[in-house]
Amino acid sequence: MNLDDYLITEEPYYSPTHNEIQLFEAAYANRMPMMLKGPTGCGKTRFVEYIAWKLKKPLITVSCHEDMTASDLVGRYLLDAEGTVWHDGPLTLAVRHGAICYLDEIVEARQDTSVVIHSLTDDRRILSLEKKNEVIKANKDFQIVISYNPGYQSVLKDLKESTKQRFGAIDFDYPKAEDEAKIIAHESGIDTKTAAKLVQISERSRNLKGHGLDEGASTRMLIYAAQLMSKGIPLEEACEVALVLPITDDLDIRNALSSAIEACA
Amino acid sequence: MAASTTRGKYVISSHSQEPAQEPGDPDERLVFLINEGKHLFPNEYYPLWETACGKLSHAGYGALIPLSYARHSPKLVKILNSETAINFAATVSLAAIKVNRAAAELLPKAAVIAAHELKSTQAFTSWVTTIEELIYNAPESLLAVLERTQKIVSTLTPDQFRTWVLTGLRSTGDDALRQINYFSFTDPESEKWFRHEAGDVVFTDLDRRLKLYLLSLWSLRPPIRDLPASTSPLSLRRISISNGVVRVPEVFPGFHGEQAEKIFRAGLAHVGAHLVYSTKIFPLGELKPIQVALVSLLEDARVEYLAIQTFPGLRKLWQQFHVAKPSGPKLVPLLLSRLARALIDKEYKDKDGWVQKGRDMFFDPQNDMTDPAMCRSIGVLLGNDLGQLRAQFNAKTYVVEPAYRDDNMGLWDFGDQQGQEEDSDGIFIEAMRMDREEVEDDSSSEQEQDQKENDEDEQQYHARESTDSEQRESEVAVRYPEYDYLTGSERPNWTCVLEYFPDFGDAYKIERILEKHNNLVNRITKLIQTAKVSLPERLHRQSVGESLDLDACVNAVISRRMGDTPDPRIYSTTERKHRDLSVMVLLDISNSTNDKVQVSGTSVLELEIQATSLLAYAMSELNDPFAISAFCSDGKEDVHYYRIKDFNSPYDTRARAHLAGLHGKLSTRMGAAMRHATEDLVAQRTHRRLLLVISDGEPSDIDVDDQQYLVEDARKVVRSISRLGIDTFCVGLDAGGDNYLHKIFGRKNVAVIDKLEHLPEKLPLLYLRLTA
Ligand SMILES: Nc1ncnc2c1ncn2[C@@H]1O[C@H](COP(=O)(O)OP(=O)(O)OP(=O)(O)O)[C@@H](O)[C@H]1O
Ligand SMILES: [Mg+2]
């Protein structure tokens, strides 16, 4: 089977924040399992896409959710006219044919899924398909990458220590102000001066983190605001829609944020 | 006509204006007035009124009361109606009996003023009702209120008037002296609540959002206190910064609604600019008061200029309050306002040479705007210029304009040379100095406390842990609203919860409890263990269940096709698998918990400690996150709160020693304590959160007479907590007060036990509720 469909042909726009590209390439050279940590909307997904393109490897992304089971990852038998056929799951595909497999928010998935990846993330690099009675040796190009939002998990929903310790980790945070402005300008088409204003506004919200906000406005939110502005919506309104209203229901915080945005405008 | 009515305000008629001359003798005068009434009352009502007057005059209240009634009550006929005028005699009589003659005499006159403002009979009647409430509950204060009738009725609706009165009664308890202070507006609280009722925006209403605003702009969290409205000799009060404590006037008189919110915001933004950019304090040196005022003004302009560089929107916020005009007499305060405007408003044009000079010097490109020193040198020069113009500057009456700007006392180092100069210049400095000291007095300790409060926010548990056990004073003070069922609303910032460091007792006492009740411990642990409180999870491959498991079905068919025996477990079901629950145990340790429980013979508190020990043991064995706190109260300003164990601290010897060290004292302001405990629970990220109150019943406090009041407040808290998705449950010890508990928590959420042995029987009730 051919994973060409999973190859990223066009260079995704990615603006590095530190030396994460270099670090990741070194990790990939050793096929080290990697964990990308960081708050929501800070560019983890974009980074993996970029890296896959740079390494010219196919990328298979799985967004994990509460009801996801091991078979959703590994594969299952299905019925067809003649009888039964085995259908490889996304992880098995990546293992067999050599792709980077990105498991987004793996903690969300059920416990049994993380066990599946154990044999893939130590030096055995094998995946056993019990139902099918098959053991696959991972393709030389295969690498597993997971994302992980520290702080969002309750104690019951954390990664097991034995899972955590199988990964190397790169810490992501919102890009530096000028970089973030450049990203926003690029993604939305607004000018960098306005984008810089948006970044300044995001700092206002990030100052409230831990004082009523769990998280400041993400790069993604700022891009939304910028996209609204590129369609002619004025700054304060765009921020209201893309930022103030979604981020909190607390009226005092909304009022404080809106006033701070007014001060920036 | 006895009454003279001008349009708008009503003027109480002086006797000389009346047409016929009154006889001098009081008795004759009464007869004369009653006669006059004939023209004013419709025929069918006149006899009734006549009788009412007669009753008052024969009741032995003296001559003045019936006279006052006979003179003023007919005026009510015209504004309202005859019946109301006649019925009002009963209220006058009540005042004469319960209060005193002076108040009763004033009452009819006040009633006319009230009637004129209120206009409708309905509104007037509810004014009277509130007056009667005062007569019953605070007779000594009636006179003070009546004397202020014009102010009250022209500002407040009758409902607001009633709420303001109730607030006074609530806050002063039974203390007649404090009541009089409140109702005569001597107590600053009174004016504050008056404005609050009048719908004026008071700082308390905006406190939280404005603090968040400062935090958002500059990451600043200075301690902010409100400055009572009427403590100042000047009617114009300004924000003041000293020693890092920011004091904000409770109101800015004359600013209403949105404007009021804006001026508070502008004021705090200005404070922020000072805190960020006013990096140096100016030595006072030999400066004249006018120079001090000018340097301060320039420094204001400089920090605002810098702040606007980062936050351009602030210009608009500030500029709207600069309304000085480039004309008018050249008085110093006006010139200062014009200069202030010239320094922020680019469009502003002013032909005055001095103002222009000030502007040019300030914006000289050679200046280093980041250095406060420039303000000093320019200010000194401009001050000299004014001196040469022989313009008068009265330091004593000068207030900073516009009103959002602070008094700038915090910018100056007044040194130690106190009270040396005696010339006229000296007074300003002296005034400044006194002002500063008066503020300083209590601010240094408050600042420390505030600092702690702030640190506390950052969850510095360890700081708390390292505090000396000897330390008894409160470390954290947080204000909460309280609900008044009579008005159906909450009074903001009404009570203050103070956190005190708990005593140490003998931790082994807890061990001994556990040993002694070994059996119970096991039962309770098992019981909790089986309680699954979490999000339901989908279970696949079940032999029974409410839906088909598609995966399993496909597998079964596949097995059959391949000739194997299919697995019959093809159903799925949902079930709660574990406990995802945080519990806050809140112990009532008021004095009444020292009472013995009838059945078991131990004290209520002892029983509380025992029950808590068992629960805590079970929860820590099962790794359930939990916290333990205790409370009692000594009036609304001092609700004691003790942290025995926090969510993020271990249940160790220390926690157990605190638990064993509890002793019963003071009263039971339950609502406030629950509000405070909830703050911690809200931060817990579990599926369910439970506030478990252990109490012996009735909430009460020394400053509250009305039994129902604290019960209703607690009930309100329970309801608002449940809206946050937090469950409440109460274990009532001893049956005595269970009625109140039922009322507060709801019948289903109370378990009453009188013996420790009954705890395991009642607990399932609780966990059943949670899993439902
Ligand atoms: N360094 C970056 N270079 C380019 N674009 C970026 C960068 N960081 C963030 N972005 C932009 O932010 C958006 C959100 O980023 P992304 O979807 O990668 O976030 P994420 O970290 O994966 O979030 P989540 O944890 O919610 O999945 C992207 O669509 C991209 O436009
Ligand atoms: Mg100032």
> What are B240-267's pLDDT values in tens digits?
888 778 888 888 877 877 888 999 999 9
**B480 in a structural domain:** no
Within 8 A by CB and 6+ apart from A110, the residues are A66, A67, A68, A69, A70
Structure tokens at A120: 């893939």
The lowest-confidence range among B161-175, B342-356, B375-389, B515-529 is B515-529
Mean predicted lDDT score pLDDT of chain B: 82
Instruction: Indicate which residue's Cα is closest to atom 8 of ligand 1.
Output: A43
pLDDT digits (tens, 9 = 90+) for B27-57: 888 888 898 888 889 889 999 999 999 999 9
B418 plus B555 within the same structural domain: no
Within 8 A by CB and 6+ apart from B32, the residues are B20, B22, B23
Q: State chain A's maximal CA–CA distance in angstroms.
A: 69
A84 plus A146 within the same structural domain: yes
A235 in contact with B, Cβ within 8 Å: no
**Would you call A260 and B538 a contact, using CB atoms and an 8 Å cutoff?**
no
**Would you call B209 and A78 a contact, using CB atoms and an 8 Å cutoff?**
no
Cβ B230 vs Cβ B253: under 8 Å? no
**B494 in a structural domain:** no
Closest approach of A236 to chain B, Cα-based (Å): 11
B337 plus B382 within the same structural domain: yes
pLDDT (0 to 100) of residue B228: 60
Put residue A263 in one of left, alpha, beta given phi > 0 → left and psi -120 to 50 → alpha. alpha
A212 in contact with B, Cβ within 8 Å: yes
A39 plus A108 within the same structural domain: yes
Quote the DSSP letter at residue A150.
T
pLDDT (0 to 100) of residue B330: 81
Closest approach of B411 to chain A, Cα-based (Å): 25
- Specify the pairing of strand B639-645 against strand B626-633: antiparallel
Q: What percent of chain B has pLDDT over 70?
A: 86
pLDDT (0 to 100) of residue B734: 66
Cβ B567 vs Cβ B541: under 8 Å? yes
A150 plus A217 within the same structural domain: no
Give the CA distances from residue B580 to residues B487, B523, B625, B690, in Å, rounded to whole numbers and listed in that order: 39, 20, 9, 11
A55 plus A167 within the same structural domain: yes
Looking at the 3D structure of chain B, how many domains does it have? 4
Structure tokens at B349: 């044009």
pLDDT (0 to 100) of residue A258: 95
Instruction: Indicate which residue's Cα is closest to atom 4 of ligand 1.
Output: A14
A50 plus A139 within the same structural domain: yes
pLDDT digits (tens, 9 = 90+) for B79-125: 988 999 999 999 999 999 999 999 999 999 999 999 999 888 888 99
Tens-digit pLDDT string for chain A (265 aa): 678 889 999 999 999 988 999 999 999 999 999 999 988 888 999 999 999 999 999 999 998 887 788 888 998 888 777 777 888 999 999 999 999 999 988 877 777 787 788 889 988 899 988 888 899 999 999 999 999 876 554 444 567 788 888 899 999 988 999 999 999 999 999 999 999 999 999 999 999 988 888 889 999 999 999 999 999 999 999 999 999 999 998 889 999 999 999 999 8
Domain boundary among A171, A206, A234: A171
Instruction: Indicate which residue's Cα is closest to atom 30 of ligand 1.
Output: A43
**B450 in a structural domain:** no
CATH number, domain containing residue B680: 3.40.50.410
| Closest chain B residue to A214, measured at CA | B683
- Does residue B5 have a pLDDT over 60? no
**Would you call B216 and A205 a contact, using CB atoms and an 8 Å cutoff?**
yes
The lowest-confidence range among A59-73, B90-104, B404-418, B648-662 is B404-418
B614 plus B551 within the same structural domain: no
B50 plus B143 within the same structural domain: yes
Distance CA B232, CA B407 (A): 13
* Distance in angstroms between the alpha carbons of the first and the last residue of chain B: 74
Interface test with A, best of B206, B216, B550 (most A CBs within 10 A): B216
Distance CA B714, CA B699 (A): 8
B41 plus B166 within the same structural domain: yes
Distance of CA B83 to the CA centre of its chain: 42
Residue type, A241: V
pLDDT (0 to 100) of residue B460: 35
B92 plus B152 within the same structural domain: yes
Question: Please, which residues bridge with residue A34 across strands?
Answer: A145, A168
Distance CA B5, CA B355 (A): 50
B417 plus B317 within the same structural domain: yes
pLDDT (0 to 100) of residue B511: 87
**Looking at the CA of B275, which ligand is closest?**
2
Question: Chain A contacts of B551, Cβ < 8 Å?
Answer: 69, 71, 76
Give the CA distances from residue A76 to residues A46, A90, A119, B547, in Å, rounded to whole numbers and listed in that order: 30, 11, 19, 20
**B45 in a structural domain:** yes
Domain boundary among B423, B440, B457: B440
Q: What is the dihedral of CA B516, B518, B519, B523, to 10 degrees?
A: 130
Interhelix angle B653-660/B604-621, nearest 10 degrees: 160
| Closest chain B residue to A259, measured at CA | B213
Query: How many Cβ atoms from other residues are within 10 Å of residue B545's Cβ?
Result: 19
**Would you call B216 and A78 a contact, using CB atoms and an 8 Å cutoff?**
no
Task: Report the separation in Å between the CA atom of A213 and the middle of ligand 1, taken as the mean of its atom positions.
Answer: 20
Structure tokens at B325: 């005009």
Pairwise pLDDT comparison (B645 vs B734), residue with the higher score: B645
Q: Chain B, 203-242: which have a CB under 8 Å from a chain A CB?
A: 208-210, 212-213, 215-219
A185 plus A246 within the same structural domain: yes
Question: Chain A contacts of B554, Cβ < 8 Å?
Answer: 76-79
**B524 in a structural domain:** yes
When CB atoms are compared, the residue of B213, B557, B686 closest to A256 is B213
- Does residue B13 have a pLDDT over 60? no
Instruction: Indicate which residue's Cα is closest to atom 16 of ligand 1.
Output: A43
pLDDT (0 to 100) of residue B203: 85
Residue B412: name the closest of B299, B249, B333, B304 by CA: B299
**B273 in a structural domain:** no
When CB atoms are compared, the residue of A78, A204, A251 closest to B554 is A78
A71 in contact with B, Cβ within 8 Å: yes
B66 plus B178 within the same structural domain: yes
pLDDT (0 to 100) of residue B447: 45
Ligand 1 is surrounded, with C-beta below 6 A, by A 13-15, 17, 38, 40-46, 104, 147, 175, 183, 187, 219-220, 223
Domain boundary among A147, A171, A195: A171
Cβ A64 vs Cβ A159: under 8 Å? no
B419 plus B556 within the same structural domain: no
Residue type, A158: D
A85 plus A133 within the same structural domain: yes
Residue range(s) defining the domain that contains residue B37: 2-197
pLDDT (0 to 100) of residue A165: 87
pLDDT (0 to 100) of residue B748: 81
CATH number, domain containing residue A84: 3.40.50.300
Structure tokens at A113: 């899924």
pLDDT (0 to 100) of residue B24: 75
Residue range(s) defining the domain that contains residue A34: 4-171
pLDDT digits (tens, 9 = 90+) for B274-321: 999 988 888 888 888 899 999 999 999 999 999 999 999 999 999 999
pLDDT (0 to 100) of residue A237: 94
pLDDT (0 to 100) of residue A223: 95
**B464 in a structural domain:** no
**Would you call A204 and B217 a contact, using CB atoms and an 8 Å cutoff?**
yes
- Does residue B432 have a pLDDT over 70? no
**B292 in a structural domain:** yes
- Does residue B468 have a pLDDT over 70? no
Q: Chain B, 578-607: which have a CB under 8 Å from a chain A CB?
A: 578, 580
B435 in contact with A, Cβ within 8 Å: no
Structure tokens at B475: 């470390």
B166 plus B291 within the same structural domain: no
pLDDT (0 to 100) of residue B471: 40
pTM score, two decimals?
Answer: 0.68
At B161 the three-state DSSP class reads helix
Cβ B727 vs Cβ B769: under 8 Å? yes
When CB atoms are compared, the residue of B217, B551, B580 closest to A76 is B551
| Closest chain B residue to A72, measured at CA | B551
- Does residue B475 have a pLDDT over 70? no
A202 plus A142 within the same structural domain: no
Closest approach of B549 to chain A, Cα-based (Å): 12
Distance CA B15, CA B102 (A): 19
**Would you call B311 and A264 a contact, using CB atoms and an 8 Å cutoff?**
yes
Task: Report the separation in Å between the CA atom of A176 and the middle of ligand 1, taken as the mean of its atom positions.
Answer: 14
Confidence of residue B768 (pLDDT cuts 50, 70, 90): low
Pairwise pLDDT comparison (A15 vs B759), residue with the higher score: A15
- Does residue B11 have a pLDDT over 50? no
Within 8 A by CB and 6+ apart from B122, the residues are none
Looking at the 3D structure of chain A, how many domains does it have? 2
A181 plus A167 within the same structural domain: no
* Helix intervals (H) in chain A: 20-29, 44-55, 70-74, 90-97, 111-116, 161-164, 177-188, 192-206, 219-230, 235-239, 245-247, 251-264
Domain boundary among A127, A153, A171: A171
pLDDT digits (tens, 9 = 90+) for B110-120: 999 999 998 88
pLDDT (0 to 100) of residue A149: 76
B92 plus B135 within the same structural domain: yes
pLDDT digits (tens, 9 = 90+) for B575-611: 766 777 889 999 999 988 888 877 777 888 888 898 8
pLDDT (0 to 100) of residue B155: 87
Task: Report the separation in Å between the CA atom of A183 and the middle of ligand 1, taken as the mean of its atom positions.
Answer: 10
Structure-token match 């259908």, residue found: A87
E-strand ranges in B418-505 read 476-484, 489-500
A74 plus A25 within the same structural domain: yes
Q: Rounded to the nearest 5°, which phi and psi values hold at B719?
A: -65, -40
Count of residues in chain A: 265
Task: Report the separation in Å between the CA atom of A199 and the middle of ligand 1, taken as the mean of its atom positions.
Answer: 15
**Looking at the CA of B408, which ligand is closest?**
2
Domain boundary among B575, B604, B631: B575
B76 plus B190 within the same structural domain: yes
| Closest chain A residue to B310, measured at CA | A264
Pairwise pLDDT comparison (B686 vs B508), residue with the higher score: B508
Which whole number is the average pLDDT over B353-378?
93
A47 plus A153 within the same structural domain: yes
Interhelix angle B158-172/B188-197, nearest 10 degrees: 150
B550 in contact with A, Cβ within 8 Å: no
**Would you call A208 and B580 a contact, using CB atoms and an 8 Å cutoff?**
no
A123 plus A234 within the same structural domain: no
With residue B640 as reference, give the H or E element that holds it: strand B639-645
